[in-house]
């Protein structure tokens, strides 16, 4: 660190020199002559002019030329590196595009050539994988259950014991179709609506739902019989029923032959025989909880039926030699229907949780609103 006394001496010396120069310049200016500082500045300017007129020396010129050559060489090298990088990027892009096209073509070929696979679900109880055949055999819910889990007895819990005690006071039972509580006198033991082919799968259904199901079944049967009769009458080459059909002559030698009806014969790949398909148009007017439950259940069943129909059509078209975009589009439609079925199953499960709220309101109509009940 500098000594303060020494620093003070230097400062006084600088101040004295500055004061002396200023006083000298003022004195010379007062006499009308150029001050010494101006003459020194003029001399410095003349030396610079002479040096500039003389030009750069050989050493300076050598250094400047070397610097210019180095800058030019660096610019050329950077340009070459940028060009090589651009060429490498273009080659990588072309290779990536070729790989993408090849992968897409391979995926399409695998999807078209691969056999139809059954959709797999995860059981909500045992967490094992189950197929569509096991899912379709019980009432719709958000988490599909296998046959073992849905037939196993439920474990008793404190909440369930309280619910059973509350339910034992109420003799009403819930209808499997509409979800409303009905008196035991209005309920009947009927086959399951979701799995009619499963023997022993019986549920409780009210008389109104059973009557509506019978009416719908009779209407569908009449429409199917009418359509089948018209189509067979147009395609048949046999005479009308009231016309007597001539019998074939007996062969004296006992030879027999096979008679093929032209109305029933079909070549390979032809349209298969008519199968029964119920066409139901569901209205979206879900003005209450029961209508919303019925709508979700019906739409899920229709989506499942549509997916099965798409699979049958795809198998028939493939057997007839059809391939390409038509099969791919049909497969995508089948997958879309399966996803829609899962969404409607989730909707039905979410709505079923609201049935308890409705029962609670029916049991206690004098209760307050939601904000009153939920506040602490």
Question: SS3 letters for 53-119?
Answer: HHCCCHHHHHHHHHHHHHHHHHHHHHHHHHHHHHHHHHHHHHHHHHHHHHHHHHHHHHHHHCCCCCC
Is residue 338, in this structure, part of any structural domain at all?
yes
Tokens of 365: 């109509």
Examine residue 156 and state whether it is found in any structural domain, yes or no. no
User: Which of 337, 308, 300 is CA-nearest to residue 194?
Assistant: 300
Question: Which of 170 and 122 is assigned the larger pLDDT?
Answer: 122
pTM of the model: 0.29
How open is the CA angle 226-317-221, to the nearest 5 degrees?
20
Task: Tell me the CA end-to-end span of the chain in Å, nearest whole number.
Answer: 74
Q: Classify residue 359: in a domain, yes or no.
A: yes
Mean pLDDT of 100-109: 89
- CA–CA gap between residue 356 and residue 309 (Å, rounded): 36
Structural domain for 352, as ranges:
286-363
Using DSSP's 3-state secondary structure scheme, residue 205 falls into strand
Asked if residue 194 lies in contact with residue 135, where contact means CB atoms within 8 angstroms, the answer is no
Residues ≥6 apart with Cβ < 8 Å to 262 = 237
The contacts of residue 230 (CB under 8 Å, 6+ apart) are: none
In a domain, 334, yes or no: yes
pLDDT at 235: 46
- Contacts of 111 by beta carbon, 8 Å cutoff, 6+ apart: 328, 331
Three-state DSSP at 280 gives coil
How would you class 206 by CB atoms within 10 Å of its CB: exposed for 0-12, middle for 13-18, buried for 19 or more?
buried
| Per-residue pLDDT at 350 exceeds 80 | yes
29/55: higher pLDDT: 29
**Distance of alpha carbon 334 from alpha carbon 237, whole angstroms:** 36
Across 53-69, average pLDDT: 86
Highest mean pLDDT among 11-15, 134-138, 272-276: 11-15
Output the pLDDT for position 76: 95
Q: How many domains does the chain have?
A: 1
- DSSP element (H, E) containing 149: helix 147-151
* Residues pairing with 121 in the sheet: 130
Structure tokens that stand for 204 in this block = 């409780």
Please say if the pLDDT value at position 263 is more than 50: no
> What is the pLDDT, as a whole number, of residue 319?
85
If one counts every other C-beta atom within 10 angstroms of the C-beta of residue 21, the result is 13
C-alpha dihedral sign at 362, 363, 367, 372: negative
Q: Which residue has 């950077």 as its token pair?
A: 78
The rounded distance, in Å, linking the Cα atoms of 187 and 67 is 104
Cβ-contact 310, 337 below 8 angstroms: yes
Pick from 112, 118, 142, 146: which is nearest to 308 by CA?
A: 118
Residue-wise burial string across 173-205, b where 16 or more C-beta atoms lie within 10 A, e elsewhere:
ebbbbbbbbbeeeebeebbbbbeeeeeebebbb
Residue 300, token pair as written in the block: 């899920």
User: What is the per-residue pLDDT for 165?
Assistant: 58
Q: What is the mean pLDDT of the chain?
A: 74
DSSP state for residue 262 in the 8-state scheme: T
- pLDDT confidence bin for 289, thresholds 50/70/90: confident
Decide if 304 is inside a domain.
yes
Assess if residue 353 is contained within a domain. yes
In a domain, 326, yes or no: yes
What's the sign of the alpha-carbon dihedral 295, 205, 342, 157?
positive
pLDDT tens figures, 291-332: 888 888 889 899 999 988 898 888 888 888 888 888 999 989
Residue 310 lies in a domain: yes
């Amino acid at each position: 660190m500098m000594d303060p006394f020494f620093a003070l001496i230097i400062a006084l010396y600088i101040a004295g020199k500055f004061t002396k120069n200023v006083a000298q310049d003022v004195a010379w200016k007062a006499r009308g002559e150029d001050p010494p500082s101006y003459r020194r500045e003029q001399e410095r300017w003349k030396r610079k002019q002479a040096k500039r007129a003389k030009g750069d020396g050989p050493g300076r010129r050598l250094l400047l030329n070397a610097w210019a050559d180095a800058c030019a060489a660096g610019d050329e090298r950077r340009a070459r590196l940028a060009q090589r990088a651009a060429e490498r990027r273009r080659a990588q892009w072309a290779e990536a595009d070729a790989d993408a096209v090849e992968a897409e073509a391979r995926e399409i070929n695998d999807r078209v050539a691969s056999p139809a696979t059954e959709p797999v679900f995860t059981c909500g109880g045992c967490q094992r994988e189950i197929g569509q055949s096991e899912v379709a055999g019980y009432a719709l819910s958000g988490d599909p259950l296998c046959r073992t889990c849905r037939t196993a007895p439920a474990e008793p819990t404190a909440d369930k014991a309280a619910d059973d005690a509350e339910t034992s006071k109420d003799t009403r039972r819930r209808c499997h179709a509409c979800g409303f509580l009905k008196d035991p006198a209005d309920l009947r033991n009927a086959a399951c609506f979701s799995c009619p082919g499963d023997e022993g799968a019986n549920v409780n259904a009210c008389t109104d739902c059973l009557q509506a199901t019978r009416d719908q079944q009779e209407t569908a049967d009449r429409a199917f019989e009418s359509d089948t009769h018209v189509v067979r009458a147009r395609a048949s080459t046999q005479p009308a029923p009231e016309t007597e059909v001539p019998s074939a002559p007996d062969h004296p030698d006992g030879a027999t032959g096979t008679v093929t009806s032209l109305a029933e014969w079909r070549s390979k790949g032809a349209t298969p025989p008519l199968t029964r398909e119920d066409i139901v148009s569901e209205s979206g007017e879900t003005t209450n909880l029961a209508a919303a439950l019925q709508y979700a259940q019906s739409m899920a069943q229709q989506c499942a039926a549509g997916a099965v129909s798409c699979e049958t059509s795809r198998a028939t078209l493939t057997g007839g030699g059809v391939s390409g975009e038509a099969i791919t589009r049909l497969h995508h439609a089948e997958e879309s229907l399966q996803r829609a079925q899962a969404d409607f199953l989730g909707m039905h499960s979410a709505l079923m949780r609201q049935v308890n709220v409705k029962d609670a309101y029916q049991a206690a109509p004098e209760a307050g609103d939601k904000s009153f009940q939920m506040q602490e």
